[in-house]
Amino acid sequence: MAYTETKTTSYGSRVKSSCGGIGFGILLFIAGTVVLWWNEGRTVRTGDMLDEVKGAYVEMENPNKKDAALDGELIHATAMATTEDSLVDAQFGLGAKAISITRKVEYYQWVEQQHSESKDKLGGSQETTTTYTYTKAWVSEPVESAEFKDPAYQKKNFVLTTIEPAEQYAENVSFGAYKLTSSQIRSISSRENLDLALSEDLLRQFDQTTKTAYQRFYGIETKPEPVAPQPAAPAVALSDSAKAVADSLQAVSDSIKAVTDSLMAKAENKKDLEYVHQAGNMLYFGRVPGSPEIGDVRVTFEKVVPAKVSIIAVVDGDSFKPYKAKNDETFQQLSMGKKSADEMIQAAESSNNIMKWLLRLLGVFLVITGLKSVFSIIETVLKVVPFVSNIVGWGVGVVCTVVGIVWSLIVIAIAWIFYRPLLGITLLVIAGLLIWLFAFKGKDKVMELAKKKEPVNNQ
């Protein structure tokens, strides 16, 4: 069931908060401008560097044999990445000859979500209703439920055990006759499940500590030990022949029991313990893996195995190093599988283009949000009459959005004039056109939309 909390903010507090938001808005505006400028320079420098790489690399025909003539050269090559290093997870006694091994830990916990809705009141105050809901989910860290808003869910979380995630990498990974660098090693992604081979003593130890933690939290007493069967009453005396038959039957029964006990023992060795279970590459702490309870923990193990990879890098003795372009930008790349140099460079160009637009959107968002924070004081002062405030707030939002976009285009254009004059001038023309449309053609449209919005707000 949802838990709600209602808070009322006075008109004076809202005005004071908006005044404080002016400084924060200015910082956001400056940060957005810096991001836009820096991103354009980064994009151009990266593009120039990749263009340089296209004409600078040579093919390494046989990575399995060192070639002194290639020392210091930017090369492209494909070979198997292999290792003889044995990695060990000391806490669980697991090991493998692998490029890396990873231990991932998840906890089954109550998780709090919140959703807020605000309503302006006549006189300028604001009423905010926050609804808190709770769901069970697997998370990467234990959740502190003592801070939950709903008292019914406070202190509902616990964990059967706490285990740190871990990741190990081999120090020596070969690429034919050469060695990969640590950054190249970490780029290899040929992950596979690491089969568990845990000792029986360790499993029993885990089971006992987990059982204790479970019983302490859920208040379940330990099951009493089964009572040993009482000796049977003396049998009635039998004749010699009847006794011989009985002895034969008993011998057969004992043989059957011995075989059954042996099979049961083998089955018992393969059977999971009560509170710890193994399934493939997962070790599960809890009673029923298919029906998790709060406090359950699951640990999964993976390894990175030898695989064919392609690289572009500078040969540095028996290893590699990044390529340094004329503009001081650096580049090296590792891709999984057999990839041509053109494919790898195109992938790098695509990544550069995606990053360019993501940072542009971030910069524009910061600029617009900063402007809205600076001018939100106008809307807040008019909150004494919510209807008027809504109209003004809508208009301020439109103006801040348009101004923010225009400003962003101007910043991008100036940056491109600095780095790419032709494109920069084109962007400045577009920004000027937007200013003209908004200043001379958009004024009447804004007033018309504001009038259309008035009847809606009156309702």
109 within domain boundaries: yes
Band of the pLDDT at 1, cuts 50, 70, 90? Answer: low
According to the model, what pLDDT value does residue 452 have? Answer: 59
Q: What is the mean pLDDT of residues 424-442?
A: 68
Sign of CA dihedral 191, 196, 197, 201: positive
Is 338's pLDDT higher than 80? yes
Give the pLDDT confidence score for residue 438 in this predicted structure: 66
**Is 84 a residue whose pLDDT tops 80?**
yes
Name which of 157-171, 257-271, 337-351 the model is least confident about: 257-271
Average pLDDT over residues 58-69: 94
Residues 191 and 303 sit within 8 Å (Cβ to Cβ): yes
pLDDT at position 163: 94
- pLDDT, residue 105, reads 97
Residues 368 and 408: their CA atoms lie apart, in Å, by 9
Determine the average pLDDT of the residues in 2-16.
83
Query: Which residues, in sequence order, are CB contacts of 245 under 8 Å at separation 6+?
Result: none
pLDDT at position 427 is 66
Give the separation between CA 159 and CA 140, rounded to whole angstroms: 12
Average pLDDT over the chain, rounded to an integer: 84
Query: Average pLDDT for residues 242-253, to the nearest whole number?
Result: 53
**Which pTM does this prediction carry?**
0.75
SS3 138: strand
Residue 252: pLDDT over 70 = no
- Radius of gyration, CA atoms only, the chain: 35
* Percent of the chain clearing pLDDT 70 (strictly above): 81
Closest C-alpha among 273, 264, 262 to residue 201:
273
Q: Is the pLDDT of residue 446 over 80?
A: no
Mean pLDDT along residues 225-238:
46
Q: What is the pLDDT of residues 209-218, one digit of tens each?
A: 999 999 988 8
DSSP 322-372: -EE-TTS-EE-EEEESS--HHHHHHHHHHHHHHHHHHHHHHHHHHHHHHHH
User: In the predicted model, is pLDDT for residue 340 greater than 60?
Assistant: yes
Q: What is the mean pLDDT of residues 65-74?
A: 94
Instruction: Identify residue 309 by its one-letter amino acid code.
Output: V
Q: What's the pLDDT score for residue 222?
A: 45
The predicted-structure confidence for 254-310, as pLDDT tens digits, reads as follows 554 544 444 443 333 344 589 999 988 999 999 999 899 999 999 999 999 999 999
Res 443: pLDDT: 57
- Whether 439 maps to a domain, the answer reads no
More confident residue, 77 or 251: 77
In a domain, 283, yes or no: no
Overall number of domains in the chain: 1
pLDDT of 321: 96
What's residue 267's pLDDT? 38
Which range has the worst mean pLDDT, 23-27, 174-178, 210-214, 243-247?
A: 243-247
Q: What are phi and psi of 445, to 5 degrees?
A: -65, -40
Instruction: Give a yes or no: residue 230 inside a domain.
Output: no
Question: Domain residues for 377?
Answer: 3-193+305-384
Percent of the chain whose pLDDT exceeds 90: 58
Q: Averaged over 435-459, what is the pLDDT?
A: 57
Distance (Å, whole) CA 42 – CA 51: 14
Query: Looking at the domain assignment, is residue 390 inside a domain?
Result: no
* pLDDT of amino acid 410: 87
Examine the pLDDT at 421 and tell me if it is beyond 80. no
- Arithmetic mean of pLDDT, 428-457: 62
Point out the least confidently predicted range of 38-47, 57-66, 397-406, 423-432: 423-432
Q: 3-state class of 101 per DSSP?
A: strand
309, part of any domain = yes
pLDDT of 268 reads 39
| 281 is a domain residue | no
The answer as to whether 46 is a domain residue is: yes
